[in-house]
Amino acid sequence: MNLKSIIFLLLSIVSPYYLTAQDYEFDDQSGNLEIKTREFTKISVIMYKDYEYKVSFMADEYVGKVHFKIREDNAGKKVLFDNSTASYSQEKKIKLENTTKLLIEVRIPEGLNKSEDAVNKGWVALLIEHRRK
């Protein structure tokens, strides 16, 4: 791990406490991921009824934007959001009617980033915030 990766890792751990909007609270399901190009990494989270969630991603500059999907973690695996249909937005707000177990799938997309040929894997910070509806 080089110095740039270490600094990124430290910032992604500390920054959620400073970057969260005043009306949202940091959620402990947030984390850092090492992901590979073209492969989805899956994160299981629980989102509770009566809360609105904000899911955000931040990646090293050489990684660029990430592709993520949010889907139900059940037999149907219904996709609730796919950022490839929203100009690769790095943030999504979600409100659910019931407490639901979800899968967040994230990857470095092929051909989206300028230095894609040089990127085989990279660090991505996942920030989950919540507030009562």
- In this structure, which amino acid lies at residue 11? L
7 torsion bin: left (phi>0), alpha (psi -120 to 50), beta (else): alpha
Higher-scoring residue by pLDDT: 52, 7:
52
Higher-scoring residue by pLDDT: 131, 10:
131
The string of pLDDT tens digits covering residues 14-41 is 555 555 456 888 888 988 888 877 778 8
Phi first, then psi, for residue 66 (nearest 5°) are -110, 155
Whether the pLDDT of residue 89 is over 70: the answer is yes
pLDDT reported for residue 38 = 76
pLDDT reported for residue 64 = 75
Q: Which helix (H) or strand (E) holds 17?
A: helix 3-19
Superfamily of domain 3-132: GOLD domain (2.60.120.680)
Give the Cα separation of 63 and 83 in Å (integer). Answer: 16
Both tokens of 52, joined, read: 């609105």
Q: Domain segments of the chain: what residues?
A: 3-132
